[in-house]
Structure 1
Amino acid sequence: MNRLELTGLTTRPAQVWGGVRLVPLVREAPVEGLRLHREVYDGLGAGIVELDHRTQYISYIPHGLVADWSGGGEGPEVPGAGGQSAAYGTQLGGTRDVPHTARLPRLAHHRLAKRRPGNRLRFLPLHLALEGYLALHFGGPSTAWEEWSRGALRGGLSPRAEDTYLGWSVRGLGDALRVFEIHPDQCGVMVYVSDALAAAFVVPHPEDYRLLHASLVEDLYGELVHQYGLYGAPVPEFGARIRDGEHIRTLADLRAAARGQERAWAQAHDGLFARELLDSSYGFDRVYRMGSFTLWRFLPPFVRDGSGQHIGETITDHKGQVAYLKTFRLSDAQIRRGYLLHTLAGADWELSRAAGALGVSREELVRRIRAAGFSELLKGNVGRAPTRLPF
């Protein structure tokens, strides 16, 4: 498995709001045996994630997702269920109504993915993907070459951090999601900002999507997406154009022509708009096995070809079919850092070999390392002109 196979998902015509284009994805049939529920946390969104007994980090965590493969997923899970939080307040309604409960603050999260009683797994959406990117060659130099500092050999790339933007700050996204028409069998969406793919989101069941649709404004987006939303111009809407020469005589002819336009749009979308996501080869890292399903996170090849590249997480069944997907678009600077780290690790962190692989001089490689924000890995005198003595 090295590609994303969106088997069973069909593209529907896009809907546009300003510079935001939303492309719905519908399923022929829901994925059997898996449901996704939302777990709501403290309204402030700040949380502490304990990766292990020594490593923690603080981040924005408004909610988690609970994957349920018990086979009994008939409706939404109660927000915060299975954790150390308490609901207060009472509402009257049917058994299928979503409970609008308020929760007491819940700040600590033990691990990015944690098993819950029964066949359930709580995981933090997008945090799996971002942690995989931040941990990219986190250990630093594997060989004590003389250029690397003692801190680099002892602590590697610690600490590493990336800036992200809340979906509410991406201009037009909140309004687009609010006025978006959800299809009856919709199980996902492709989000474009200024016609650049910002995120892909897929769930196993249409009811899951209806409950999680609005959560896209609470997701994390990269700097490039925020800039496109801020400075980008409105994008053209999708419009079906039926030519006079198609000889429309009956409603059946008109319906067939309209469906032909839908198929043409789907082919154009999959072959042009979403090509950078679907045609890329990824490195997958298995996070957790859930019966016949598996939770993965993935990284792109960091090939500097000018196209957009995405990190993300996915749940697949035993056939490799995507049941859940959430992606994060990397900025050009993040792609350059990933490419640089891959090259250094491939050269066993020897600067001369890495410079040869990049086709640049050793001095230029040192400059790139410093420009990428990794100057603390190098000794202070590496790449600097030697001091001339006065004799």
Structure 2
Amino acid sequence: MTSHGLDADMSVTRAGLLDGLMTRPGQVWGAVRLVPLVRAEPVQDLRLHPQIYGGPGVVDLPGRRHYLSYIPHGFVAEWTTDGSPAAAYGTQLSSGQPQQPVATLRLQFHRRMARREARHRLRFLPLHLALEGYLALHFGGPAIAWEEWSRQALSQGLSPRAEAAYLGADVPGLADALRVFEIHPGQCGVLVYLADALAAAFVVPHPEDYRVLHPTLVQDLYGDLVHHYATLMPPVPDFRARITDHGIRSLDELRAAARQQTAQWADFHDETMAAGLLGQANTWQRVYRMDRFTLSRFLPPFRPKQDNHIGEAITDEHGRTVYLKTFRLSENQVRRGHLLNRLAAHDWHLADTAAELGIDEAQFGLRLKTAGFGHLLRQDVLDRYRSRAQATNR
């Protein structure tokens, strides 16, 4: 995906992403583990349905900029203002008839990442809201024209920015797992693990929405780290509950023991397996207000060598998650985000940023080049950094 986007005003909020959702025991297929998320009561006054595009798309962004990526589908949110149940409008994944192969894919053009189509209907591009937020990170480039930055960096910033991802259909085992796994009663979401590394979280308002949107997970984008784990790692163990017969004398006691096992699994999952997502302090940007609901996207703190997830969410007036979709960044993507954040924090002054990181300016400049930002520096400056590094290593 490629972005020609704008920097955005950010605000930091809490990270209670799974508020109102309960974890249920997962199912395993090879290296894939799917962990269901259920609600005690479904959200009735907000519903989601897919709008199928099926190919590459271009999205117009503010400031005569654009975003280009594979966009298989959009989501349409329907809501009511009086709390009455909303219906999923026009839900359709396919015609049910065999599709003829096509020689070319039609390029789709979209106006904005999120666009209101009717008074109580919003079309948005799932996951791409989050990805564009990452690509637009400090997109404007150097805030001060220090002499080390190239003319391109000062005039165009980071335009264009590009990142690569894998289609879910190319992640080994994922399509089979989604096809054969049972959907839990009341299920409104799922956490997708590859080799027990959290790859994605997906939450919707209503169980009926989830049944319709469950197959779209194979059309989503996944990071290269997730793809490598699925390809190279062995099958993961299944966590099975074991209840001893000691002290069990009635069906009520057996039910209580089963509930305890379920609670222990949920605590272990939330505190250990999902800690990388649930424990990060996200930076949020509001995208659209829908009466009592708010569509937002978030960025992680870009912690090197730790889990870092970008995502988007719809929350209600109490901050509870109604919709959620996340993407796990690779280590290289985390490094790029970390470097840009540190540069911005020091007004894009190379020496000051290098000092904070505990390295010299030449090492930092070469680190920028390794991260893919070498074009932002003047060539003579890069050559000087290389010469200095070579002299140090002699």
Paired residue for 2:147? 146
Question: TM (normalized to structure 1)?
Answer: 0.89
How far apart are the structure 2 equivalents of 1:137 and 1:61?
24
Deviation track 1:132-158 (CA, whole Å, cap 9, x = no partner) reads 000100111010100001110000011
How far apart are the structure 1 equivalents of 2:159 and 2:384?
28
Instruction: Find the partner of 1:73 among 81, 86, 90.
Output: 86
Paired residue for 1:127? 128
Instruction: Find the partner of 1:55 among 61, 65, 83.
Output: 65
How far apart are the structure 2 equivalents of 1:111 and 1:5?
25
Give 1:8 deviation, angstroms: 1.6
Paired residue for 2:237? 236
Q: Answer yes or no: is the 8 Å Cα contact 2:78–2:88 preserved in 1.
A: no
Paired residue for 2:219? 218
How far apart are the structure 2 equivalents of 1:274 and 1:58?
31
Give 1:105 deviation, angstroms: 5.7
Aligned length: 367
Deviation track 1:256-292 (CA, whole Å, cap 9, x = no partner) reads 2122111110000000001111111000001011111
SS of alignment partner, residue 217 of structure 1: helix
Give 1:106 deviation, angstroms: 7.0
How far apart are the structure 1 equivalents of 2:161 and 2:144?
21
For residues 76-115 of structure 1, the aligned pairs below 5 Å read: 76-79=89-92, 100=96, 107-115=108-116
Give 1:327 deviation, angstroms: 0.1
Q: Answer yes or no: is the 8 Å Cα contact 1:129–1:312 preserved in 2.
A: yes
Paired residue for 1:159? 160
How far apart are the structure 2 equivalents of 1:258 and 1:160?
51
Question: Would the alpha carbon gap of residues 383 and 107 (structure 1) be closer, same or farther in structure 2, given more than 3 Å must change?
Answer: closer
For residues 158-307 of structure 1, the aligned pairs below 5 Å read: 158-245=159-246, 247-304=247-304, 306-307=305-306
Q: Answer yes or no: is the 8 Å Cα contact 2:198–2:274 preserved in 1.
A: yes
How far apart are the structure 1 equivalents of 2:225 and 2:255?
40
Q: Answer yes or no: is the 8 Å Cα contact 1:78–1:99 preserved in 2.
A: no
How far apart are the structure 1 equivalents of 2:206 and 2:106?
29
How far apart are the structure 2 equivalents of 1:241 and 1:174?
30
Paired residue for 2:312? 313
How far apart are the structure 2 equivalents of 1:73 and 1:138?
38
How far apart are the structure 2 equivalents of 1:39 and 1:314?
18
Residue identity matched to 1:292: R
Greater than 3 Å deviation, 4+ residue runs: 98-106
Paired residue for 2:378? 379
How far apart are the structure 2 equivalents of 1:288 and 1:99?
31
Q: Which runs of 5+ in 2 are unaligned?
A: 1-12, 388-394
Deviation track 1:193-245 (CA, whole Å, cap 9, x = no partner) reads 00000000000111100100111000000000000010011000120111243
Paired residue for 1:12? 24
How far apart are the structure 1 equivalents of 2:348 and 2:27?
48
Residue identity matched to 2:71: I
How far apart are the structure 1 equivalents of 2:212 and 2:261?
30
Question: TM (normalized to structure 2)?
Answer: 0.89
Paired residue for 2:344? 345
How far apart are the structure 2 equivalents of 1:385 and 1:187?
56
Give 1:54 deviation, angstroms: 2.4
Q: Answer yes or no: is the 8 Å Cα contact 2:78–2:87 preserved in 1.
A: no
Give 1:72 deviation, angstroms: 5.1
Give 1:9 deviation, angstroms: 0.6
Q: Which runs of 5+ in 1 are unaligned?
A: 81-97
Percent identical among aligned pairs is 57
Q: Answer yes or no: is the 8 Å Cα contact 1:347–1:354 preserved in 2.
A: yes
Give 1:114 deviation, angstroms: 0.5
Cα RMSD, aligned residues only: 2.1
Give 1:343 deviation, angstroms: 0.5
Q: Answer yes or no: is the 8 Å Cα contact 1:22–1:191 preserved in 2.
A: yes
Give 1:4 deviation, angstroms: 2.9
Question: Would the alpha carbon gap of residues 32 and 75 (structure 1) be closer, same or farther in structure 2, given more than 3 Å must change?
Answer: closer
Pair 1:39 & 2:51 matched: yes
How far apart are the structure 2 equivalents of 1:152 and 1:180?
49
Q: Answer yes or no: is the 8 Å Cα contact 1:199–1:327 preserved in 2.
A: yes
Residue identity matched to 1:4: G
Paired residue for 1:91? none
How far apart are the structure 1 equivalents of 2:209 and 2:264?
28
SS of alignment partner, residue 379 of structure 2: coil
Pair 1:368 & 2:367 matched: yes
Give 1:79 deviation, angstroms: 4.5
Deviation track 1:89-116 (CA, whole Å, cap 9, x = no partner) reads xxxxxxxxx9658899671111111001
Deviation track 1:345-389 (CA, whole Å, cap 9, x = no partner) reads 1010111111111111111101101101101100001143499xx
Residue identity matched to 2:74: G
Question: Would the alpha carbon gap of residues 6 and 57 (structure 1) be closer, same or farther in structure 2, given more than 3 Å must change?
Answer: closer
Residue identity matched to 2:173: G
